[in-house]
Amino acid sequence: MHRPVDRTLVGFADSSLSPTDDPRKLGAVRMDPPGPFTVRQSVDLRITYTIGHHGLDDRGAVKIVMRFPADGGGWQTDTPDAPNFVRAQASAPCRFRIDYAAFGHARPWFKVLTVQVIGGCLRENDTLTISVDGLRLQTFSEEAWELRFLVDACATGHFVEVPDTLWATIAAGPPATWHLVAPTRWPVGEPLRLGLKAEDAHGNPTADPDATWHLSADASVDGLPAQVARTGVAEVLEITPKAKGILRITARDAEGTVRAVSNPIRVGLDRTLWGDLHGQSGETVGINTARAFFLFARDAAFLDATSHQGNAFQISGAFWRDLNALTAEFDDPGRFVALPGYEWSGNTAVGGDRNVYFREEGRPIRRSSHALLADRSDIDTDCTTASALFDALKGEDAVAYAHVGGRWADLRAAHDGEIERAVEIHSAWGTFEWIAHDAFALGHRVGIVANSDGHKGRPGASWPGAATFGAYGGLTCFLTPQCTRDGVLGAIRTRRTYATTGARLDLQVDAHLPAGSAVYADDPTLGPTTSQPATTAQMGDVVRVSADAVQVDVAVSAASPIAAIEVRAGAELVARVRPSNALGGRIAVRWQGALYRGRGRQAAWDGTAAFHDCTVRSVTRINAFNPDHRFIVDGAEVAFEAVTTGNDGGFDARIDEGPRARLEVRTNRGDLSVPLCALDADGVRVSSDGLDLALSARRLPDDNPHRDATATVTVPIAPRGDTPIWVSVILEDGHRAWSSPIYAFREQP
């Protein structure tokens, strides 16, 4: 049964001053229509407030506040014919001032509409009706979309909540895409779980009652039905692969059109796990309940592992106990891993965000502050700097990630190699290769991970929506066959992880070591450890190399064509290998980057791309996460709006080009002009002010069939210090992946 989040578990602090001890004397409020609604539905909403005992004085006001993730757009009073137009009307003569602010109230109720009386007053049982014409609802489904109604009856500046609850269910829209989700490695002859689901245009899992999925496999498999009539939101089939090799499952509709292809399954290898260990629910700054969070991760995103990571300064003692009970309930060794933990959310000035994960429930929570907690009984347990946090975690069976969200982690301020084992390189906040470069420059030996940091109740399948976030949420692959807490934490500690922007691809990175080399059991800079002679190393290893170079082998299998494999030594590119060297009549136009490291990093792109002396046959959008953004193809011209937050986006155009063919791209952040005859696979790039902000164009092959690819590259080893050998994979559909490094050095540490 849908219901609002239990308010007693939500960390927030409003004024407690009220003109009365009887909440009913504050009046009553109702919403019409009451719902349910559908995502992106346009609704004429009426909120009627019946004035309470004290009346509503001249300069008194009411507020309607909404949660931070709400992305239906700003309520406005300027354009009556535009969405979200607000009017206020009273049953007695009054004039009103109406203001809306996206960040105007206390977290997590940031969004606020204020209606203030500026002429007249209202008496008990008078009514104030606030109308929102053409209210455009949010992009994400929600069990209980909740509005809080607050009143300052006496014009004191203190707002008190009217006790009536305003909420409605917002359901997913009609199906737009199909998805097949499977493990990426699996032993022969053991049954695996194949997830089937449809999503609407904004990434919400949705029922698909009229569809029949016709399924086929490109390798031998038992238990796969020829067709499935789907009625639920997400379903699981149990199938058994029978032979070694790469297995993919295809779903077609009744007309035979391919609607989905599963991620590749490398059959014949030990199992690996997929996890999103970073997200929030409505008890902190997200939506829906924490219970719904774990159910979605397991049953709708088909994850193997997750962790709720609420901002610690917002986690009350009651909610911390509730979270621990939930992880104990949902943790199911062999099937699903639920890790207890929290996000230490100190400002960047004191170290910045860190994600903390425990092996067991019942461990103390170390907050950066009690900023949103009225109960101060345990404030002496706070760790107000990242250094203090690491000191407090010594001796705990715990690990931490350095995180980039609203507050970015400053690795110069604090680091403990025993505890902080990874950096989060991608989330719904964007892509942050720079945090890995920071770690390398400081000599930290960390793994590479990605998560969603989703606030919309969709861990493991996290679309960014239409507001603050600008990227699809990431995933981490844990190279362990053990679907247990020990397996996941062990993979983190040994850096046996790789990160993706949400694609479930398989990535293998091996270094071939010369005679006399050795692999360490753990990072020798952390204390005494053992080593043993070795001829190969895999991602995460710390190795002493007896020569000035090593050979690195990379193998990738993905659901979409592989554009490039980049082998790197720290921040330096060693080699870029493209599986397809052919060039054709396909042009890739990309925009990328962020404004800066902090919370307001979103970069808006607004422009046009014109192909001169060309015929444009088709255009495919890349990383277009917000369907509301303008994207118009008119002959040989493309008009676009987009947002990047460290990631990239753009489009691919298939063209027939004449002898004077030319591309001209004009944007608010710079222009690019190039004759198409000058474009090759590397293309051209125009940089802009900001953090790796750039506009680029390059030539692609007409068709790229390479969903499986290998590369062999010789990587030089620096004479002193670490050479972090890692790999980035770029897929044609816009997804990316990054391996954890092999940390190679030549001298004795």
- Say what the pLDDT of residue 19 is: 87
Q: How far is CA 193 from the centre of its chain?
A: 24
- Say what the pLDDT of residue 510 is: 98
Instruction: Report the half-sphere exposure of 402 (CA within 13 A, side-chain side).
Output: 33
The Cα 469–Cα 280 span in angstroms is 14
The Cα 82–Cα 276 span in angstroms is 38
Map out the domains of the chain with their CATH numbers: 7-171 (2.60.40.1510), 177-267 (2.60.40.10), 273-502 (3.20.20.140), 506-580+711-749 (2.60.40.10), 586-700 (2.60.40)
**509-553 pLDDT tens trace:** 999 999 999 999 999 999 999 999 999 999 999 999 999 999 999
Contact 742, 717 (CB under 8 A): no
Q: How confident is the model at residue 3 (pLDDT cuts 50, 70, 90)?
A: confident
Q: How much is the average pLDDT of 451-471?
A: 94
Quickly list DSSP for 545-613. -SSSEEEEEEEEE-SS-EEEEEEEETTEEEEEE-S-----SEEEEEEEEES-SSTT--EEEEEEEEEEE
Q: Which residue has the tokens 């479930």?
A: 504
Closest CA to 478 of 266, 276, 300, 743: 276
Q: How confident is the model at residue 1 (pLDDT cuts 50, 70, 90)?
A: low
How many residues does this entry show for the chain?
749
Q: How confident is the model at residue 352 (pLDDT cuts 50, 70, 90)?
A: very high
The Cα 2–Cα 146 span in angstroms is 12
User: Of residues 573 and 628, which shows the higher confidence score?
Assistant: 573
**477-513 pLDDT tens trace:** 999 999 999 999 999 999 999 999 999 999 999 999 9
Task: Please give the mean pLDDT across all residues of the chain.
Answer: 96
The rounded percent of the chain whose pLDDT value lies above 70 is 99
Contact 397, 361 (CB under 8 A): no
Closest CA to 424 of 454, 406, 441, 401: 401
**254-308 pLDDT tens trace:** 999 999 999 999 999 999 999 999 999 999 999 999 999 999 999 999 999 999 9
**605-655 pLDDT tens trace:** 999 999 999 999 999 999 999 988 999 999 999 999 999 999 999 999 999
Q: How much is the average pLDDT of 732-736?
A: 97
> What is the H or E stretch that residue 244 is in?
none
- Say what the pLDDT of residue 45 is: 97
> What is the H or E stretch that residue 631 is in?
strand 631-634
Q: What is the CA radius of gyration of the chain?
A: 27
- Say what the pLDDT of residue 748 is: 63
Q: How confident is the model at residue 232 (pLDDT cuts 50, 70, 90)?
A: confident
- Say what the pLDDT of residue 18 is: 86
Q: How confident is the model at residue 380 (pLDDT cuts 50, 70, 90)?
A: very high
Q: How confident is the model at residue 183 (pLDDT cuts 50, 70, 90)?
A: very high
DSSP 8-state secondary structure symbol assigned to residue 224: -
Least confident window among 39-43, 93-97, 426-430, 467-471: 467-471
- Say what the pLDDT of residue 280 is: 96
Q: How much is the average pLDDT of 372-390?
A: 96
Closest CA to 624 of 642, 609, 607: 642
Q: How confident is the model at residue 10 (pLDDT cuts 50, 70, 90)?
A: confident
Indicate the SS3 state at residue 71. Answer: coil
Q: How confident is the model at residue 14 (pLDDT cuts 50, 70, 90)?
A: confident
Contact 274, 192 (CB under 8 A): no
Beta strands 531-533 and 631-634: pairing type?
Answer: unpaired
Q: How much is the average pLDDT of 411-416?
A: 97
φ, ψ of residue 217 in degrees (nearest 5): -125, 150
- Say what the pLDDT of residue 21 is: 86
Q: How much is the average pLDDT of 14-18?
A: 75
